[in-house]
Structure 1
Amino acid sequence: MPHPSPPVIGIIGGSGLYQIDGLRDVVWRKVASPFGEPSDELCFGTLEGTRVVFLPRHGRGHRLAPSDINFRANLDVLKRAGVTDVLSVSAVGSLREDLPPGTFVVVDQFIDRTFARTKSFFGTGCVAHVSMAKPVCSRLGDAVMGALQGLGIASKRGGTYLVMEGPQFSTQAESELYRSWGCSVIGMTNMPEAKLAREAELCYATVAMVTDFDCWHPGHDAVTVDQVLSVLMANAGKARALVKSVVPRLSGHEGPCRQGCQTALDHALITAPEVRDRALLEKLDAVGGRVLERQAP
């Protein structure tokens, strides 16, 4: 089956979210990946009986800059750990007046402006093309939005996340350009994360936590580091409450993903089986094993 039952919930924590409240039977364990070193060890535990796997995206203590994150290793080790659903939590800047600091946005689209990152598990020797038309799993998005509303957290369903390379923030001209494109928030970490989650046949959703307005805003220059950090810490507390609330909502799901996230590779592989590179296939055992075994020459 493409979706084991019961589900295993993976949490990728961004800036400020380094732990999960209420997690029991906690064990930190290193999981090896053929794609290199992930950001940190994985934290295994249970939350109200549901298996949860937590990965701090920047490493504990925030050691890694966005461009230095090994996104392929991160998604690969989550897949190897049995994760089926991934909730990504990220700090972002707002590109809209109606999304002030403290707002949580359950985004449904991305624009990828990154350029210094490896964006696919596949490549020479085994080429694959997955659909990214709908990059967020609607089932996960529904569950997250329901949890946010139940907690009374200021939130918005839908919006486009512009992912920039960083580590520097935008110029004012860039910020105004992204606003003209209709983008809602801007950050540095959800690409290629979302693309790799789709290639790994994982259901994926993002919660974008607004810490400040981007530099387009007239009041941006008056924002201090202390103010941003204060919002960041408040958001982290809300994010921990969100995780605690949303995991039980996801725990009862059985069967395949209604959106097809967990069969994304069914028609994606284009390289003929007899000419596929064996070394690459060995690295793809977790990510693409379901279809590669079926299509072996």
Structure 2
Amino acid sequence: MLAIIGGSGLTQLSTLEISRREVVRTPYGEPSGALTFGVLNGAPVVFLARHGYGHTIPPHQVNYCANLWALKQAKVSAIVSVASVGGIRADFAPGTLVVPDQIIDYTWGRKSTYFEDADKPVHHIDFTEPYDAKLRQRVLAAAAAAGEHVFDGGVYAATQGPRLETAAEINRLERDGADLVGMTGMPEAALARELDLPYAALNVVANYAAGRSASEHGIQFDSIELVLQEAMIRVRRVLEHVSKA
């Protein structure tokens, strides 16, 4: 069964035939919300809103450990993360869909591993390729089947939030090799790896990153909302094909 974690702009799947909702308790506290089970394009899926169903949980306060553990308990076979991002690379304009292949982690203070208690041995994961290769190809194939253009590859910079970045910070991220900037990619991807859950991301460029827009008025939040509304329609088409793949 496929799991979909929705971020900003995807608090629900309008085409999901809901069968039940389940409130889950985990050893790591409560997840962001109830798990929503249902059928998407004839295939069983479970959906979780990363920021809560009322979008009330900021990125740095998401209980990533509980979210991933809850999905593991639900016996999902793979996770597709949907998240909005800022575009650093010039061709990653607002509305662009990207399936990233690398991550740079700039977050701090977040619980980022299941293996840090005194009674647990140190556990190292191979994070050379942070996204599951087969699942990435599945998402790319689904996009092609849906007739939606997506970019194959990109370096995702995970920042702390909840504020957006300064222009100087974006310049630094670009020098580091980042193409996209978001606030929720880590530790989510690493926790999925610790739980042996295949994980891939479908990023939606909501706006140009700070200092990258031609606008003299900075980032326009009204425009972001309009971009996400249109882009999420396309994301849902892709997800419908991922679910049946």
TM-score normalized by the length of structure 1: 0.79
Q: Which among 167, 172, 175 is matched to residue 172 of structure 1?
A: 167
Cα displacement string for residues 264-295 of structure 1 (whole angstroms, at most 9, x for unaligned residues): xxxxxxxxxxxxxxxxxxxxxxxxxxxxxxxx
Gaps of at least 5 residues in structure 2 are none
Aligned pairs for 1:271-286 (under 5 A) are none
How big is the shift at 1:25? Answer: 4.5
Is 1:248 matched with 2:241? no
What CA deviation, in whole Å up to 9, does each residue of 1:140-176 have, x standing for no partner?
1111112222333232101110000011111111100
* Aligned 8 A contact 1:213 1:220 in 2: no
Structure 1 residue ranges without an equivalent (≥5): 1-7, 250-297
Larger radius of gyration: 1
State the alpha-carbon separation in 2 of the partners of residues 166 and 220 from structure 1: 23
Q: Percent identity?
A: 38
Q: Which runs of 4+ in 1 moved over 3 A?
A: 220-223
Whether contact under 8 Å (2:44, 2:243) holds in the other structure is no
2:134 pairs with 139, 144, 167, which one?
139
CA distance in 1, matches of 2:165, 2:215: 12
Are 2:195 and 1:200 equivalent residues in the alignment?
A: yes
Which of 18, 30, 33 is the aligned partner of 2:26?
33
Look up the match of 1:111.
104
1:130 and 2:162 correspond: no
1:231-256: CA deviation from partner (whole Å, max 9, x where unpaired) = 0111221111111121111xxxxxxx
Q: Distance in 1 between matches of 2:48 and 2:18?
A: 16
Q: Would you say the 8 A contact 2:81–2:200 is kept in 1? A: yes
Equivalent of residue 214 in structure 1, options 209, 212, 216: 209
Supply the distance in 2 between the matched residues of 1:190 and 1:218 (Cα, whole angstroms): 23
TM-score normalised by the chain length of structure 2: 0.95
Q: Is the 8 A contact 1:112 1:164 kept in 2?
A: yes
Tell me, yes or no, if the aligned pair for 1:21 and 1:244 is still in contact at 8 Å.
no
1:92 and 2:85 are equivalent in the alignment: yes
Contact 1:102–1:154, Cα closer than 8 Å, also in 2: no
Match of 1:53, SS state, is: strand
Q: What secondary structure is seen at the aligned counterpart in 1 of 2:227? A: helix
CA distance in 1 between partners of 2:216 and 2:240 (Å): 35
The count of aligned residue pairs is 242
- The question of whether the paired residues in 2 share the 8 Å contact of 1:103 and 1:153 is answered with no
Could you tell me how far apart the structure 2 residues matched to 1:148 and 1:245 are? 7
Cα distance between partner residues in 2 of 1:72 and 1:221: 40
Seen in structure 2, the aligned counterparts of structure 1 residues 218 and 234 have a Cα distance that, compared at 3 Å, is closer
Contact 2:98 2:202 in 1 (8 A): yes
Aligned position for 2:225 = 229
CA spacing shift, 1:85–1:221, aligned 2, 3 Å: farther
Deviation for aligned residue 1:92: 0.1
CA contact (8 A) 2:41 2:241 kept: no
CA 213–27 in structure 1, closer or farther in 2 if over 3 Å, else same? same
SS in 1 for 2:226: helix
The answer to whether the 8 Å contact 1:93/1:187 transfers is yes
1:16 paired with 2:16, answer no
| Matched letter for residue 188 of structure 1 | M
- Rounded Cα–Cα distance in structure 2 between residues aligned with 1:218 and 1:22: 34
Asked whether the 8 Å contact 2:60–2:161 carries over to 1, the reply is yes
Aligned mates of 1:44, 1:206 — CA distance in 2:
20
In structure 2, distance between residues paired with 1:190 and 1:54: 17
Q: Show the counterpart of 2:40.
A: 47
Matched AA of 1:100: A
Write the distance in 1 (CA, Å) between the matches of 2:159 and 2:21.
31
Contact 1:101–1:210 (CA under 8 A) maintained in structure 2: yes
Specify the code of the residue in structure 1 equivalent to 2:149.
A
Deviates more, 1:24-33 or 1:8-17: 24-33
Counterpart Cα distance in 2 of 1:155 and 1:51: 24
